[in-house]
Amino acid sequence: MNRNPNLIYLDNAATSWPKPPQVAAAMTRFLEETGANPGRSGHRLSVDAARLVFETREQVARLFNAPDPLRVTFALNVTEALNLALHGLLRPGDHIITSSMEHNSVMRPLRHLEKRGVAVTVVPCSPEGFLNPANVESAIRPNTTLIALNHASNVTGTLLPVRAAGEIARRHNLLLLADVAQTAGAYPLDMQVDNIDLLAFTGHKSLYGPTGTGGLVLGTRVDESKLSALKQGGTGTRSEREEQPEFLPDKYESGTPNAVGLAGLGAGLDWIMARGVNSIRQHEMTLCRKLMGGLREISGVTVYGPRDANLRTAVISFNIAGLPPSEVGLRLDEDYGILCRVGLHCAPAAHRTLGTFPAGTVRFGLGAFNINRDIDATLAAIQQLVTDHCSHGTRRHPRLLHQPRHAD
């Protein structure tokens, strides 16, 4: 692990950093010792590469209690996985239900599909980001085929009732698609217990893998013959045919996979399983409670989302009265070495729900490598920003004068 002692990294909701040291080691080892194309040749290095990819597939299946490693399909990220599920399942005339706390990785494909004849219902959430399962059930129509929800908001960390929505989906013979970008590795997940039919995950957040990794896991209720592939091409199997293979996972994995990235993801998964998801969550929640409590004690600071840390992940959005989020984020970076994210966080629907659109918020995303000292320094920095503002008023930072209004 290479952690810069002069920086406090609070942007783990975007991408986790630092990574466990074994992640970089596994990627280097793959490049130095294997490096071949998995499944494209019969020589020993190609076989070794294919074995590594399959072992990572098995690790993903174990972490999520998926029914079969072959039903784990790898993608570049959760966005591609969500697009596979949405474009692959929905047809003109179908109806889908989602929430007002979704990321644009769901909303943009849905708005695209809406123009092509798919009906979309966005169920409103509370100003804290809570979703009432009864409102999901009441939105069901005769042509509803899918419920799509994020497991936790990337803006407030609010946990959505995925398990209850899955029970509703089963009662009405629907499928549930869960976007677990914010919870995979940071919150216990079980596809069987949580009634998840399609689980879309990313590797570069709380799974502590590199960017360029992610995937879609298919439950047993998903008929793959009705899930169209996003792309077609080489797979290394059935090369004598010009049609795409219909078996899993090859149907959805055209082209050379990111094997070096999957080596890193496998190492990240090893680290998570050794430490334990519950242990990681307990650590993050301890820091989250301290940070939320401290922010709420500072005059002029508004914290969004649930007050109860048990109802959220370690993602905290806030604003300082009289200071635009962009100014706060820049001051934290340049004056204090605290790295966070500001703006709308690619989730304008969520910010409309919170009442923070169009300016957005300042977002802190805690991770497994944050420590108490980070929280103490961050609270001191926020207090100083508030004190400076009260003493001198808003001072527009020179670097912000020519930037667009909505930093994302």
At residue 399 the predicted structure's pLDDT band, cuts being 50, 70 and 90, is low
The SS3 assignment for 29 reads helix
On the question of pLDDT at 25 being above 50, the answer is yes
In 3D space, the residue among 32, 77, 76, 30 whose CA is nearest the CA of residue 55 turns out to be: 30
In 3D space, the residue among 72, 37, 76 whose CA is nearest the CA of residue 57 turns out to be: 72
Q: pLDDT tens-digit profile of 139-191? A: 999 999 999 999 999 999 999 999 999 999 999 999 999 999 999 999 999 99
In 3D space, the residue among 217, 218, 215, 213 whose CA is nearest the CA of residue 263 turns out to be: 213
Tell if the pTM clears 0.85, that is, is over it.
yes
Q: Where are the chain's structural domains?
A: 8-18+276-400, 21-275
CB of 87 within 8 A of CB of 230? Answer: yes
On the question of pLDDT at 42 being above 90, the answer is no
Residue with tokens 């209720």: 221
Cα 251 versus chain centre, distance: 24
Residue 157, token pair as written in the block: 């960390």
Tell me the C-alpha distance between 22 and 268, whole Å.
Answer: 7
Query: What is the domain class of 21-275 according to CATH?
Result: alpha beta
At residue 40 the predicted structure's pLDDT band, cuts being 50, 70 and 90, is confident
Q: For 356-381, what is the mean pLDDT? A: 98
The SS3 assignment for 405 reads coil
In 3D space, the residue among 295, 23, 307, 361 whose CA is nearest the CA of residue 185 turns out to be: 23
Q: For 321-330, what is the mean pLDDT? A: 98
Residue 242, token pair as written in the block: 């010009």
Residue with tokens 């949405």: 86
CB atoms within 10 A of CB 121: 17
CA torsion sign for 204, 111, 153, 201 is negative
In 3D space, the residue among 207, 184, 314, 310 whose CA is nearest the CA of residue 266 turns out to be: 207
CATH fold label, 8-18+276-400: Aspartate Aminotransferase, domain 1 (3.90.1150)
Inter-CA distances, 258 with 189, 216, 269, 369, Å: 25, 15, 16, 26
% of the chain surpassing 90 pLDDT: 90
Q: What is the DSSP string of 374-400?
A: HHHHHHHHHHHHHHHHHHH-----GGG
| Cis preceding linkage at 249, omega within 30 | yes
Q: pLDDT tens-digit profile of 82-102? A: 999 999 999 999 999 999 999
Tell me the C-alpha distance between 120 and 106, whole Å.
Answer: 11
On the question of pLDDT at 222 being above 50, the answer is yes
Cα 250 versus chain centre, distance: 24
CB of 216 within 8 A of CB of 210? Answer: no
